């Protein structure tokens, strides 16, 4: 193995590990969630209706939907699940296993990016439909022991400021014997059966039991593993730069070009 090179994986052992990861996935894993709900209107409708507590007619559902920023260097977003209903309302449904991913400013940013998709040029702001950003968090993010947190803004009088923007946090720790509790139990179910909602069970079974779709999940896990290896290498390179190592020294150690090191340096500085 060359200096700076990441260890090579053993194919058979690695393949087994990938299969075990897929077996242990649940809908709280964004890779599985985005695939199960992609173009799955019935499952998406169950998810949204249960969380917001009213009926909706979902007409569009997309997993891993990208919204690009109009600014050249502006940050875009990738939504776990995007949905639109028959009234033109937009929904962004995200699963967050780590608290860092559920930062309130991220919810604000997602909400603003949804809004940019709603109006055509010169269309009146009064035509802006309601939007919902829903974070389903593995932990009780606000630590107030509530099943759902509907974030609201209020005037000094206590009256609600209503602009049609809804941010909702769902406490993944909630296990009540009601529709929301059943939904969250299904979201954490690592098997392909025993679900309360048939719409979710059917979606999970497709990706865990059907050969072609399971293969697509395994490939997604492999891509994620490769991405993590590359991210670890970039982090190691950045640490060496911070310690004062020159791009030339780092390029020699990692058996890469100086230009590649400089690109990583620039990328990391922008993200910081």
Q: What pLDDT digit, counting tens, does each position of 226-260 carry?
A: 666 677 778 888 888 888 888 888 888 888 888 88
What tokens appear for 151 in the block?
């974030």
Could you tell me if 114 and 59 lie in one domain?
Answer: yes
3-state secondary structure of 15: helix
The domain total for the chain is: 2
| Residue 202 maps to a domain | no
The mean predicted confidence, pLDDT, of the chain is 86
What is the predicted pLDDT for the residue at 8? 46
Confidence of residue 74 (pLDDT cuts 50, 70, 90): confident
Same domain, residue pair 66 and 164: yes
**pLDDT tens digits, 158-173:** 999 999 999 999 999 9
How does pLDDT run across 185-201, given as a tens digit for each residue? Answer: 999 999 889 999 999 99
Residues 129 and 36 in one domain: yes
The answer to whether 233 touches 2, Cβ cutoff 8 Å, is: no
Higher pLDDT, 217 or 35: 35
- Are both 184 and 119 inside the same structural domain? yes
Q: What is the pLDDT of residues 112-134, one digit of tens each?
A: 999 999 999 889 999 999 999 99
Q: pLDDT (tens digit, 9 = 90+) per residue, 205-217?
A: 888 877 666 666 6
Higher pLDDT, 226 or 30: 30
Question: Own/partner pairs for 123-130, CB < 8 Å, 24+ apart?
Answer: 128/164, 129/87, 129/88, 129/89, 129/90, 129/164, 130/89, 130/90, 130/164, 130/165, 130/166
Assess whether 152 and 71 both reside in one domain.
yes
Which domain covers residue 224, as residue numbers?
A: 1-24+211-272
Residue 206 lies in a domain: no
- Are both 44 and 71 inside the same structural domain? yes
More confident site: 88 or 20: 88
Looking at the domain assignment, is residue 199 inside a domain?
A: no
pLDDT above 70 coverage of the chain, percent: 83
């Amino acid at each position: 193995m060359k200096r700076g090179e990441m260890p090579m994986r053993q194919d058979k052992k690695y393949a087994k590990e990938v299969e075990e990861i897929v077996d242990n996935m649940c809908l709280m894993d964004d890779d599985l969630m985005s695939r199960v709900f992609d173009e799955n209107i019935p499952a998406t409708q169950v998810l949204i209706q249960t969380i917001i507590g009213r009926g909706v007619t979902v007409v569009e559902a997309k997993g891993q939907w990208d919204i690009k920023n109009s600014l050249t260097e502006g940050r875009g977003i990738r939504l776990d699940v995007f949905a639109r209903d028959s009234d033109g309302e937009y929904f962004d449904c995200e699963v967050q296993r780590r608290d860092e991913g559920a930062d309130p400013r991220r919810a604000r940013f997602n909400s603003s990016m949804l809004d940019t998709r709603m109006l055509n040029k010169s269309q009146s702001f009064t035509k802006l439909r309601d939007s919902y950003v829903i974070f389903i968090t593995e932990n009780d993010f606000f630590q107030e022991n509530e099943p759902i947190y509907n974030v609201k803004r209020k005037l000094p009088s206590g009256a609600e400021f209503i602009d049609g923007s809804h941010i909702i946090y769902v406490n993944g720790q909630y296990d009540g014997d009601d529709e929301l509790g059943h939904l969250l139990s299904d979201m954490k179910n690592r098997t392909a059966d025993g679900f309360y909602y048939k719409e979710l069970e059917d979606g999970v079974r497709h990706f865990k039991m059907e050969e072609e779709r399971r293969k697509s999940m395994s490939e997604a896990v492999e891509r994620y593993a490769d991405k993590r290896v590359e991210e670890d290498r970039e982090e190691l390179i950045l640490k060496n730069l911070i310690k004062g190592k020159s791009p030339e020294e780092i390029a020699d150690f990692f058996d890469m070009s100086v230009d590649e090191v400089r690109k990583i340096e620039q990328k990391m500085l922008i993200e910081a």
